[in-house]
Structure 1
């Protein structure tokens, strides 16, 4: 366990260093000038001298390696800079928007579990019957439908026609239902098919037949043996697809005007807010690392074979 954590922390250090350099370089090379956005040259009369003075003050006239070195030094001191658009520290701005994104993510995961686990399980247990056909067709349709289109349909049906749910903003539990439902349904199609396939493989294993021979009930066999054995592939795919989930959160937050980190960073990209964009990239990189580490550690408890292999390797 200790060796795994040390190896993971070394990996994340190199990964973060690479991410910081690439993001810094690409953001600086992207079209647009944050100085012109800050000075609002489209609406105000600004002289070239004022633009030059602002660029010098913000350090944009320095070579890129020097700019990166200054930013990296500030990062080591846990100073992510000040947002150009809000005028507040980047970390404070991101942490202020984090609870909204966390609520939406947890809500989407809850919807995904409520949809994928029952449908995937019933599809595997009643293979070839109508519920199997229905769940497979539903998962195919769900995989083909873009999340933003599904969101627009739900807004029209539940928000506009019936008027039962709010369609924009964040104002309590009701405002969380539509975005969570949209994102949860969009990602559940993948896990329905994956859980079905993994459960079918588990139910055909020798340990299931042995459990039946010992007289265990079908429910006990399913919940304590087959389902546990089928979870590692599902968790693996979740760790790999975390980036897609984060991207989906960004799209849904913009669609529903939900004031989370995703909408915040989209606004930052429009305004060329370099510090805020880089702070977002770093936070998402750390989140991906933490989730993937948790996935690796969970294998030890969900798959006893890994424990045996580790013990044999240390002998």
Structure 2
């Protein structure tokens, strides 16, 4: 396992390096002048040039790139050009809100998707299965921003029981978590349905039933235990996607997380903050993917770390 971990960690560092490099190039190609944005539209050119010199923007691009990588290797993500605060501190302050929203969205997905998947698998081809399929298709088809606006209008004006936006209480979390999680319920219901049907058709299930094991024990100890493996690994991977995909939700609901921070930084051309938030999302995805691989091995010992295949 140690050799596998070393290979994966080296690969993770390579991916992060690639993301950092691509982000640097994309920021360089962005239109606009960050120094002019910081100084203001009426600032004299001399002031703007001093800011460019202070930030090293007049240096050749390779020099800026090497300097950026050097600081990154030391854990220095730079300083915000808007408020002169370290990016690491700024992102760290917004991280708890984003984690809270991502976990709440994941719980919504599981709370709705898992029961739908179980009901659909227990009665394949029935009206229950068809209703679960329809609900799944609806969840996939509705864009998040559209669902967010509908829920804002419904529960903010028609039935005003939830705040329209903001942060601080459990009520503030309900609407953004619903919008973030409803779309993903479809994947969990379909994955669990397929997994349950596959496991229920295995020979060892029929053997357990033939030995007189009670249906309850067969379901709990044999069917659900094995059928939930894809769901658990999907949930761990999905959490990384939720962390990286909350920009729209946070913007719609005014949720003070790193997604809203990234959107604000793009509008203000705050280059260090943009890079910092992108790198954080990338690191989260890379290491949660590694966690998923290790978790899958723990849940299913038949999987070999070296090849990722199952033992026969």
In the alignment, the residues of structure 2 paired with residue 15 and residue 50 of structure 1 have an alpha-carbon distance, to the nearest angstrom, of: 38
User: 1:283 and 1:38, CA in 2 relative to 1: closer, same or farther beyond 3 A?
Assistant: same
Give the structure-1-normalised TM-score: 0.92
Per the alignment, residue 11 of structure 1 pairs with: 11
Match of 1:272 among 260, 265, 269: 269
In the alignment, the residues of structure 2 paired with residue 3 and residue 141 of structure 1 have an alpha-carbon distance, to the nearest angstrom, of: 44
Segments of structure 2 that go 5 or more residues without pairing to the other structure are: none
Deviation at 1:114, TM superposition (A): 0.4
In the alignment, the residues of structure 1 paired with residue 87 and residue 292 of structure 2 have an alpha-carbon distance, to the nearest angstrom, of: 29
8 A contact 1:228–1:302 mirrored in 2: no
Deviation at 1:79, TM superposition (A): 1.4
List structure 1 segments (4+ residues) > 6 angstroms apart after TM superposition.
Answer: none
The one-character-per-residue Cα deviations of 1:92-139 (angstroms, maximum 9, x if unpaired) are 000000010011001001111100111101110111222211111100
In the alignment, the residues of structure 1 paired with residue 273 and residue 306 of structure 2 have an alpha-carbon distance, to the nearest angstrom, of: 44
1:185 aligns with 2:182: yes
1:61 aligns with 2:71: no
Deviation at 1:54, TM superposition (A): 1.5
In the alignment, the residues of structure 1 paired with residue 89 and residue 297 of structure 2 have an alpha-carbon distance, to the nearest angstrom, of: 36
Deviation at 1:276, TM superposition (A): 0.7
Q: Which moved more, 1:231-240 or 1:11-20?
A: 231-240
Deviation at 1:240, TM superposition (A): 5.8
Per the alignment, residue 35 of structure 2 pairs with: 35
User: 1:59 and 1:103, CA in 2 relative to 1: closer, same or farther beyond 3 A?
Assistant: same
Per the alignment, residue 128 of structure 1 pairs with: 125
8 A contact 2:108–2:182 mirrored in 1: yes
Q: How does 1:119-268 map to 2 (within 5 A)?
A: 119-235=116-232, 237-238=234-235, 244-268=241-265
Segments of structure 1 that go 5 or more residues without pairing to the other structure are: none
Per the alignment, residue 283 of structure 2 pairs with: 286
In the alignment, the residues of structure 1 paired with residue 43 and residue 306 of structure 2 have an alpha-carbon distance, to the nearest angstrom, of: 68
Give the structure-2-normalised TM-score: 0.93
CA RMSD of aligned residues (A): 2.2
Deviation at 1:304, TM superposition (A): 2.8
In the alignment, the residues of structure 1 paired with residue 178 and residue 277 of structure 2 have an alpha-carbon distance, to the nearest angstrom, of: 25
Counting matched residue pairs gives 310
Per the alignment, residue 298 of structure 1 pairs with: 295
